Amino acid sequence: MFNKLSIKSLGIIFTVLLLIVVVFMIYDSNHGERSFRKNLVSIDTSKVTAIYIYPKSTNHHEVRIFKNGNKWKVALNNNQSASIPGYKIQGLFSDLLSVKPEGIAASGKDNWKQYQVDTSGSRVVVFQGNDKVLNLIVGKFTFQQPRTMISYVRVDGDDNVYISNGFLDYSFNHNANYFRDNNLINSDFTNWNKLTFTYPSDSSFTLQKVSGVWQINGQNTDSAETVNFLRSLSHSSNSNFVDNPSNSILRKARFTLTIEGESIPPINISSFADSTNMVLNSSENPQSFFDGLKNDYWKTIFVGKQHFFKKKK
């Protein structure tokens, strides 16, 4: 009986010990999977009032983004500012919220330089009123697998270097112009039915859709050439901004293009020039002026009538 009791007792003790070991292993496994902080970025985007970025590409020159009423703006030189399109500020918030810790690459200040999360990294500081709610340093990036990129980041006050998925260097390594509205035109060309090109001398002409066919002076244009031009023009953009163009250059437009269509207000594009400079402006983005000479940008807008006919070989 003693032997039976002892065997039974040993069985119970063994079972209890086994359960303890299993529970400990499960706890330890779960604990080990997330032995680092769960969040790096914890902000309420509706309460954010300003974002200061210090990009590597600008030698850490401050890019100040701030909320003015319900609009977002980016500070420029000479105490000026420019509006930020809604999709760009939403993209910036999306990029910030995508910064999630997937693991720890290294611990301790001695490793910061290796991962460029020291003073060499791009810094992003987020404010809610006067409160600084995020101070993030974005370091270098590497390929983890083919087509998979990871970035190294650090938050102020934490010595750990964290791994985060994505190409974060691209998100936060830009100058102020990157956040501005760089669209000269952003319209659906399928709604257009008339384009009037007004040039000096007798080179002006009108491209018009008649019964679904594009024509110049009653002559049908090449459909492929015409559609390719209209498609490109409808989403024409440029990042070469010209701030405060001189009044002398804005006295009279040298070239103009007026676009008319169904259920849309007319779109006017003007080219202003003097002996050395040219700037382009559009009624779709009237606050912005673009350098028309750099990369011959003006030639992509103000083309000749021959552009719409099949090229001779």
Nearest to 45 by CA among 83, 90, 98: 90
pLDDT at 8: 58
Nearest to 67 by CA among 89, 50, 83, 45: 50
Q: Which residues pair with 255 in a beta bridge?
A: 271
Has residue 164 been placed in a domain?
yes
| pLDDT tens per residue across all 313 residues of the chain | 445 546 656 556 656 555 554 444 444 444 444 456 788 898 999 999 999 999 999 999 999 999 999 999 999 988 899 999 999 999 999 999 999 999 999 999 999 999 999 999 999 999 999 999 999 999 999 887 777 889 999 999 999 999 999 989 889 999 999 999 999 999 999 999 999 999 998 899 999 999 999 999 999 999 999 999 999 999 999 999 999 999 989 999 999 999 999 889 999 999 999 989 999 999 999 999 999 999 999 999 999 999 999 876 5
Residue 278: CA count within 13 A, CB half-sphere: 16
Domain with 90 in it: 45-179
DSSP 145: E
Q: Are residues 195 and 304 in the same domain?
A: yes
For 47, counting Cβ atoms within 10 Å of its Cβ (0-12 exposed, 13-18 middle, 19+ buried), the class is exposed
Report the alpha-carbon distance of residue 230 to residue 191 in Å, rounded. Answer: 11
Q: Are residues 82 and 155 in the same domain?
A: yes
Q: Are residues 201 and 160 in the same domain?
A: no
Q: Are residues 154 and 202 in the same domain?
A: no
Enter the pTM of the model: 0.79
Report the alpha-carbon distance of residue 207 to residue 297 in Å, rounded. Answer: 21
- Cβ within 8 Å of residue 156, ≥6 positions away: 135, 136, 137
Find out whether 141 and 112 touch, Cβ atoms under 8 Å.
no
pLDDT at 249: 93
pLDDT at 11: 58
Find out whether 308 and 219 touch, Cβ atoms under 8 Å.
no
The distance between the two most distant Cα atoms of the chain, rounded to a whole number of Å, is 121
Has residue 26 been placed in a domain?
yes
pLDDT at 169: 87
Q: Are residues 167 and 290 in the same domain?
A: no
